[in-house]
Amino acid sequence: MPSLDGFVLGTYERTTQAILTALPLYIFMAAVLMYSDLADDMYEAIYRWFGGVKGGLAAGTSIVAAVFASMVGVASVATAAVGMVARPSMLKRKYDDQLTLGVIMAGGVLGALIPPSIVMIVYAAEASVSAAALFMAGIVPGIMACLLFIVYSLILCYFRPEKGPSVEADMRYTLREKFQSLKSIVLPGLVILLVLGSIYLGVATPTEAGAVGAVGAVFAAGVRKKLTFVNIKQIFMMTAKLCGIVFWILIGAVAYARIVTVTGTGEWLGSMITDAGLNRWVVLILILLFFLVLGMFIDTVAVLLITAPLFLPVLGAFDFNMVWFGILFTIAVCIGNLTPPFGISIFIMKGVAPDIKTTTLYRAVWPFVFILLFCMILVLLFPEIAMFVPTQMLGQ
């Protein structure tokens, strides 16, 4: 059966791509950092430094959620971990629950955009582009989105202090206590800097940097005495489960891609769009809108693997920069993960805090959805926002 042989050979070829070797390494690194209680320590540091500012905890939570999300590379894990730590603390200090929920969910989805990103690794394999270039391209848009979240929270709480009051003077920490809180996050922070720095300086490929990060994460966890039997078991379970999910999705995507190829659907769609005489920018915007809708229902990696055989050839025919488009795609599915009625992050947050009404979660995400839409429009209109770093570092 030629079709079956083609599927088996295609699956083997796809799942043994060199770039995908990085996936289990980054997932393992993320699992080690997660079970080192990093979210708790990060939030404690943020609370000590920003608690005295109106909206400071909301702004700080955006930072914690974004940083933790970039470490684990999975929005659902980041949202759940930060949500369990940050929400009770913020509610205790009389923060508005709607604002609290919004900053946690919005910060969590940035894990796909701020490197190192699992989604970017899979996209690099599908679009045949450099993962290092994608990592570099995601830095400025990711930081920009996080900063806009912070600015929104601070402005909102400045004009409406009841949304995010400052911590009372007698409960604030001294400068010495603030600096003491940073000790526990120095080692994990150095791990992330080592991974990204080795890539940006050209010392290591993303795969090699992932190996360095995995070893560094284990060392950091060992120093902090977090490598208990229970934690080690959970680390390997998380790594195996997430790797299994991603690679089974990849296997399914190969079968889907074979169907698209054999039936000629991809060629038909591509020729239909190119022959229709549509403006290339109209085509790009329509594809991004399609991603926004799909992201509401399907996991980010699944969205990519389902649509790649259809849309990547079309975008290539219109001569779009595929690294730049990768950032636009990532922002679009980040928005989809937040968008009602079926945004994945909404359901994760509902699981973390079952006492919350779903309508409250819907209202909480909209300001951050519009902020991310604004970021996507900026990257669309000014590609240099995404391409400046890879152009300077790699000449792309």
**177-204 confidence digits (pLDDT tens):** 778 877 777 777 787 778 777 777 778 7
Confidence of residue 376 (pLDDT cuts 50, 70, 90): very high
Q: What angle do CA 73, 81, 63 make, to 5 degrees?
A: 70
Decide: 181 and 45 in contact? Cβ < 8 Å. Answer: yes
Locus of tokens 């969910």: 105
Question: Which amino acid is it at 385?
Answer: I
Q: Which pTM does this prediction carry?
A: 0.78
Q: How far is CA 166 from CA 103, 172, 197, in A?
A: 17, 10, 36
pLDDT of residue 371: 95
The angle formed by the CA atoms of residues 301, 326 and 285, to the nearest 5 degrees, is 100
Task: Give the three-state DSSP class for 277.
Answer: coil
Q: How far apart are CA 279 and CA 277, in angstroms?
A: 7
For the cut 90, the answer to whether the pLDDT of residue 151 exceeds it is yes
DSSP, collapsed to helix, strand or coil, labels residue 224 as coil
| 145-159, 207-221, 271-285: which is most confident | 145-159
Distance set, CA 240 to CA 23, 123, 157, 231 (Å): 11, 21, 42, 14
The yes-or-no verdict on residue 12 having pLDDT over 70 is no
Contacts of 64 (CB under 8 A, 6+ apart): 39, 42, 43, 46, 82, 86, 107
C-alpha 261: how far from its chain's center? 30
Cα distance between residue 21 and residue 47, in whole Å:
37
Residue 19 has pLDDT above 80, yes or no: no
User: CA-CA-CA-CA torsion for 162, 166, 168, 171, nearest 10 degrees?
Assistant: 140
Residues listed for the chain: 396
For residues 43, 44, 46, 49, the Cα torsion angle rounded to the nearest 10 degrees is 170
- Residue 315, SS3 per DSSP: helix
pLDDT on residue 381: 94
In the block, residue with structure tokens 């800097």? 193
Amino acid of residue 377: I
Greatest mean pLDDT among 25-29, 106-110, 294-298 = 106-110
**pLDDT score of 251 more than 90:** no
Greater confidence (367 vs 277) lies with 367
CA distance 238 to 323: 29
Instruction: Read off the pLDDT of residues 54-70 as tens digits, 9 standing for 90 and up.
Output: 888 888 888 878 877 77
| Cβ atoms < 10 Å from Cβ of 118 | 21
Q: Would you say 39 and 185 are in contact if contact means Cβ atoms under 8 Å apart?
A: no
pLDDT at 172 over 80: no
Q: What is the C-alpha separation between 11 and 101, in angstroms, rounded?
A: 40
Please report, as a single letter, which amino acid is at residue 220.
A
What is the per-residue pLDDT for 72?
64
Average pLDDT over residues 210-229: 84
